[in-house]
Structure 1
Amino acid sequence: MSQILPLHVVPTATDATGVLRRLARGGWKTREGFALPEPAWDVSARQLVLFGRVPDLDTAKLAVFAAARGAGVVAICDPKGEVGRALRDDLARIGPLGADDGEPAEESGDSPITAEQAALLARLADGETIAAAASAEYLSLRTANRRIAAARKALGVATTREAVLAYIRLKKEAGDG
């Protein structure tokens, strides 16, 4: 399969949420827990990413086994602790850590807004409500409103409508140049 398997070991649930959002936008299906009930050995065609906390070596073994069968892994544990080091070493034998075919972390090097803000503005540009955009991006409505307010400030505009129009202009400029 030409697609890179997403393998991530992150220290916090917040970091995991960001990775999972990006992967979900890239078409990956996410599921909590590392056990694979599938009878088929190779699950890579399902584009499945398993995630959760890895508190011990037994859970780490489950995560590595799932990755060996073709599932992506987003493991939450201290990457510098004994379990985290063992998990990172074992996953690195399967594929590169931190690489995936999800959206890039940033829209572009010169964009004034973050990828998360851009994703919300793109959904608004497509006609979604803020509530629908928040839900689709796995954010609370309050967090989505804060991200949009930060985008308005970064873009130097007063209203969300103006922010969406500025975002559309940025995308056109990036596409032309």
Structure 2
Amino acid sequence: MTRQPDAPRHVVASGSEADTVVRRLARDGWVVREGFALTGSAWDVTTERLVLHGRITDRDTLQLAVLAAARGAGIVAVCDADSTMGRALIDDLSRLGTVQLGAGGPNAVPVEAGEAVAELVPEQRALLDRLAAGDTIAAAAAAEFLSLRTANRRIAEARALFGVRTTREAVLAYLRQRRTPD
């Protein structure tokens, strides 16, 4: 019996990012469908290689997306990861497995909770803490006595470690993983 690959779980900020992820998953053989409602009678849809996508606008849609993921469907959800609903979605999906924030690249490696935070150097942690507190990269660099170039390089390394494209996504991943108990 061959093991089915884990269903992809993506939370993206825009429809264009969702389109990028959906196209990539379709090329990889996933069956893509808009909306999060599963109408089939079978509980486990893992073998169908189904990916559902859409915008999370309310609690009901959020619950449908999480239920579909629990039943084995892949999810590509458009939602502001900074919002209360976005954080709830990411937390719920994280309980099922790895969640990729943003479109990422084809070579992006999703990081399991806690792994990336342990690999950060102290400079990266300090920069991410300051960015999470609202500092700009330039202000965080100055406060940590780093050149702007070094700060940008450390943050780029952190983005690669978390498997995300943007600094905002790296800060969110850092905050979420930092809270995760070992």
Could you tell me the TM-score, scaled by structure 1's length?
Answer: 0.55
Deviations 1:105-132 (A, max 9, x none): 58xxxxxxxxxxxxxxxxxxxxxxxxxx
Tell me the C-alpha RMSD between the 2 structures: 1.7
Contact 2:4/2:47, CA 8 A, preserved across alignment: no
- Segments of 4+ moved more than 3 angstroms: none
How far did 1:4 drift?
A: 1.8
Match of 1:120 in 2: none
Aligned mate of 2:60, from 58, 83, 91: 58
Aligned mate of 1:80, from 55, 79, 82: 82
Written as runs of structure 1 = structure 2, the 5 A alignment for 1:131-146 is: none
What amino acid is the match of 1:16? A
Q: Distance in 2 between matches of 1:39 and 1:6?
A: 22
Q: Distance in 2 between matches of 1:32 and 1:2?
A: 22
Contact 2:10/2:100, CA 8 A, preserved across alignment: yes
SS in 2 for 1:94: coil
SS in 2 for 1:15: helix
Rg larger in 1 or in 2?
1
Gaps of 5+ in 1: 107-177
Q: Distance in 1 between matches of 2:59 and 2:82?
A: 14
Deviations 1:74-132 (A, max 9, x none): 00010110111000000000110129xxx8258xxxxxxxxxxxxxxxxxxxxxxxxxx
Percent identity between the aligned chains?
53
Written as runs of structure 1 = structure 2, the 5 A alignment for 1:79-118 is: 79-98=81-100, 104-105=106-107
Gaps of 5+ in 2: 109-182
Match of 2:33 in 1: 31
Count of residue correspondences: 103
